[in-house]
Structure 1
Amino acid sequence: MIRKLVFEPAGGARRLDQFLADALPEQSRSYLQKLVKSGAVKVDDVIITVNKTMLDRPCHIYVELPELQNNELPAAEPFEFELLYEDEHMAVINKPPGVVVHPAPGNLDGTVVNAILSRYPELRSAELPDGSRPGIVHRLDKDTSGCLAIARTPEAQFKLGAAFAERSTRKTYLALTVGVPQERRGRIENLIGRHPVNRQKMAVVQTNGKTAISEYEVVTDGWLGKLRVALVRVRIYTGRTHQIRVHLAGLKTPVLGDEVYGGARQAIGVPRQMLHAWRLQIPHPISGEMIKVEAPLPQDFAELYRQLRTACSN
């Protein structure tokens, strides 16, 4: 499988391996470095084998990734996630930031799937549509934390997947943003599709996109160092790739730490985008009862929020 990426030097020159790690977050950086050394990466028409190669002009990058076989289940690994809900049919975990949900070439361990195969070994023999993703019914970005529902049986996987597809779930996120939205609450409805130039990004488009609907409300705002920052609560009615990140960036208030969509990561040393899947309401796959869970903030987000509240009270 060939992945085509576009580099634009708007933010300055970048090392090749650093750019690849940001553009392909589902892959480990060490694996991408091995791919470069093996000759599996081209910049325009030239094979590059040096990871420190500087990208300083617009270019196309082609990465050859081996296919992951659907029947190749990853190894079970210790389950170290916080459980927010669990019964014999389903569970909800608090996914930490930095953890990939499902395996991909070069990233076969350290994922949510590895952990749930340890806690729920029955998933290994379950007959599922895609054997490489047992239990997974929706996704969170690697650096997004919070509520992630898990199916423990094929029936639950089918019904939970349908609940997300049919929008019968209710998903509410918390985000720290750079700047404060001009309107303190509002509704955003537009089309989201692939960015016309930078194909690893999403963007608001006029045609050939999918409807994306978000409602937001500013909870509080203040200063973190020299940055004006807001805590924003966002409910999404659709689940498009990078939806909240695109919508908040469209308000000129990108998610703090979101290097892809302009969130000033370096300004105060924020290591990732500050986006947290705070609350999930979902119909139980068997009883139909609405399950409601809330995920505590991870340490890095909680500390920034503490600083923001302190600044607001001074």
Structure 2
Amino acid sequence: MSSSEFDLIESILRSQSLRRDDVTLGIGDDCALLDVPQGMELAVSLDTLVSGRHFFPDAAPELIGHKVLAVNLSDLAAMGAEPAWVTMGLTLPDADEEWLAGFMRGFSALSSNYGVQLVGGDTTSGPLTVSLQVHGLVPAGKAIRRSGARPGDLVFVSHTIGDAGLALAMLQGRITPTDELQTLRQRLESPQPRIELGIALREVATAAIDLSDGLASDLGHICERSQCGAVIETHELPLSDAVRTLSDWRLAVSAGDDYELCFTIDSSRQERVTQLSKELDLRLTCIGKIRQQPGIDFLSSGGSCESNLQGYDHFPESDS
């Protein structure tokens, strides 16, 4: 390990103020030692974000630090897990301490909000890439899985969808930018993990997933794992005024980066979801229903139906 890598690690260590009691040994040894409480299961997820693919190369380092943690915490939220620890693999083009300081400010602000301690990782040289592995705790047998949806269940989504996709379309020149771009860009670059909602849904939801690749793809994962299908009422989709005015519902269900939760409930629990919406001050919208027949149909108020819509694909098939 080079002296500059030691300096980078030391810089990361200095930026960390959070210390959890269940961390027996954190950064500084070959492995971290973590104490999983009795009666809890460990939820583990890993995401990799690549410059130019998941964030713009010139994005502010604070925003990158926030987003790389937020998208990982969103996976924990989808399973009703409480965040605990995180490890990081950081690949940098050069040892830029000013960039790293900004990155860690964004990272640490969000990690402090949710009590997440950075307990280990690795640094290396190369194209800007960040891999995080998050660890969360959930009472044994209480994790929300994708496989629990049943015909007749209602389908809900949190907040609004499509804003991040609209921002990306503007920034890429596919849609003419408007005054709403700055607000929309916040949804793209500073997603908010729905941890509180996920924990509250442990006793309510039959299945859940976070919307990283678009509703069409992600709800499709629930349907596949639950061996069912769904009918979505497009006029019920929670869209911002900007998405309604500048695009349409198709963008909202196919674009990624929302990091909202999509979840299903037994229809008898609808009143409880209404209560949760008020308690969390978070919009929760019923958009459709689970059915026995496979596939997802998007049904308009006029009766027209569209099927086989796709979300974001990291490895799309070649046209050749």
TM-score higher than 0.5: no
TM-score norm. by structure 2 comes to 0.31
